[in-house]
Chain A
Amino acid sequence: MSTDFFTAMEVSASGLSAQRTRMNVAASNLANAETTQAAGGGPYKRRDVVLATTDLDPNGDANVKGVKVSQIQQDASPPRLEYDPGHPQANAQGYVAYPNINPVEEMVDMITASRAYEAGITTMSSAVNMAEKALSIGK
């Protein structure tokens, strides 16, 4: 087994990129919390990021695992119904279907993603710091 610092940085980068995707999706969910007409009809459906491990080491080291976004799936939970007969999207009974989004949940998700992103940055700067130490040998 042999990994260089670039592998470690790639692993960290995969984490950063995954967390950024989570952040984007959470932001998109928050932005569309009241969207009653999404593409394809009906209210906007909450999106959820699915993360999966991935092998990043070119030498096939099974212990070095990166992460990737395997899919962004739609939350199948039912929409929130609000009585508003005057709304153009109201159904026959006068209810409007709003997205199945709980802004608090999205905020928590954003905070989690943000902390994980920071952890990834710390990890990457550690790798950079180590590489610098190695380069300073003999100076």
Chain B
Amino acid sequence: MSSDFSSVDKLANAMTFHRERHAVLAGNVANLDTPGYRPYDITQHEAAGGGLEMTTTEGVAHMTAGGGEPGAAYAKEFDDGGAQGGPDGNAVSMERELAKIDANRTRYATAAELVSRRMAMIKYAAGDGSGG
């Protein structure tokens, strides 16, 4: 049985992950023209339950799901092998990185919005259904 706040914890973990991922992706964009630079990315650790969206969505949609402990937003880095290297050894694709940043930002905003709504629900419940 998970408490009403565990979903908020999970969402907070998701937000932490997306914030840190943004810093990593920003580093890739900053090094757009650095010779020999290979772009990095971070992903959630498998132990955290695979895809981040799944973990958080599950927590919100099914309140009894539980499982993920707080601090599960553990991330690992990898050398983004999907990008092709140029003649100077730099493998950063600007479009790719910007697309990732945009998607990451949207996920972050989604998690923030869900936290807001979750808190509003808790507030509503705490206020005995009177609307807080």
Q: Quick check: B30 and A65 within 8 Å, CB to CB?
A: yes
Q: A64-B23, A126-B22 are in contact. Are A119 and B37 (CB under 8 A)?
A: no
Q: Quick check: A4 and B31 within 8 Å, CB to CB?
A: no
Say which one of A76-84, A90-98, A128-136 lies at the interface with B: A128-136
* B115 part of interface (Cβ distance < 8 Å): yes
A134 to B119, CA, bound (A): 13
Q: Interface range on chain A: under 10, 10 to 19, 20 to 34, or 35 or more? A: 35 or more
Q: Quick check: B31 and A127 within 8 Å, CB to CB?
A: no
Q: Interface range on chain B: under 10, 10 to 19, 20 to 34, or 35 or more? A: 35 or more
State the majority secondary structure of interface residues on A.
helix
Give per-residue flags for B50-94: 1 if the beta carbon is below 8 A from chain A beta carbons, else 0: 000000000000000000000000010100000000000000001
User: Can you give 15 A-B contacts (C-beta < 8 A)?
Assistant: A11-B27, A51-B35, A52-B34, A61-B23, A64-B26, A65-B28, A65-B40, A67-B30, A119-B94, A119-B97, A123-B26, A123-B97, A126-B101, A127-B26, A133-B112
